[in-house]
Amino acid sequence: MIHFDQVSKRYEGGHEALSSVSLHIEKGEMVFLTGHSGAGKSTMLKLITRIEKPSSGQLRVNGQLLNRLRAYQVPHFRRHLGIVHQDHQLLMDQTVFDNVALPLIIAGEHPNDVTRRVRAALDKVGLLKREKYQPIQLSGGEQQRVGIARAVVKKPAILLADEPTGNLDPALSKDIMRLFAEFNRVGTTVLIASHDLGLIARLNYRVVSLQEGRLLTTPFSGAAS
């Protein structure tokens, strides 16, 4: 599903953020990506979402070779990705419903489908009763769950999260990870960048670690430490 083959990334004017990274994540896997600040976690996610391009190596995501993807193909490619940010990036002057509906409206979905799918997504994250609220009226954990509902509303094949529990206390972090596990259980491939090693250690998923742009663990599933 996500295949990095000897991928390197050098930012303009910067040093090499990723050095010859090979990582294979199969369909239906849930994987944690760890590493110190600056190790290259966000860079890997930015390459997968095609915000950045590899400097060298091959990257294939959801069957698409990203090296060859043209700018006009990027929006279509991204339809299969759901992205959760640390700071959730919700529109604070819009309701919960409207925030979650946004990806469907951008995709030109019929209003009846929008309502049905937004409610289904809010139900999954336990916020159906909050659809008319504005994000400011919600707790940090609830705001993050709205961000997750928005990420999954289009039923993406791949769910990506960059430090999704960075601003949450341990109990709420556990709840959020449980939610990701539920989406994984129904077939979504999940990749979560996190430096919350204590939390990750208690969950039984594959962990891959980056150190100064290099992958420390095996590129394939099944044999990870």
With beta carbons less than 8 A apart as the criterion, state whether 32 and 194 touch.
Answer: yes
Q: Which DSSP helix (H) or strand (E) runs through 136?
A: none
Closest approach of ligand ATP to the CB of residue 84, in Å: 14
Closer to ligand ATP at the Cβ: 30 or 39?
Answer: 39
Contacts of 80 (CB under 8 A, 6+ apart): 62, 156, 157, 158
Closest approach of ligand ATP to the CB of residue 45, in Å: 8
Nearest to 188 by CA among 4, 5, 25: 25
Closer to ligand ATP at the Cβ: 41 or 206?
Answer: 41
Query: What is the binding site for ligand ATP (CB under 6 A)?
Result: 11, 14, 17, 35, 37-43
Tokens linked to 186: 């129904």
Closer to ligand ATP at the Cβ: 41 or 88?
Answer: 41
Closest approach of ligand ATP to the CB of residue 168, in Å: 16
Closer to ligand ATP at the Cβ: 9 or 145?
Answer: 9
Task: For 39-97, list the strands marked E by DSSP.
Answer: 56-61, 64-65, 81-84
What number of H helices and E strands is found in the chain?
Answer: 7, 10
Closest approach of ligand ATP to the CB of residue 60, in Å: 20
Closest approach of ligand ATP to the CB of residue 176, in Å: 17
Q: Residue 108: is it exposed, middle or buried by C-beta count within 10 angstroms (0-12/13-18/19+)?
A: exposed
Closest approach of ligand ATP to the CB of residue 37, in Å: 3
Q: Which DSSP helix (H) or strand (E) runs through 26?
A: none
Distance CA 83, CA 78 (A): 10
Identify the three-state secondary structure at position 212. coil
Closer to ligand ATP at the Cβ: 40 or 103?
Answer: 40
Closer to ligand ATP at the Cβ: 42 or 49?
Answer: 42
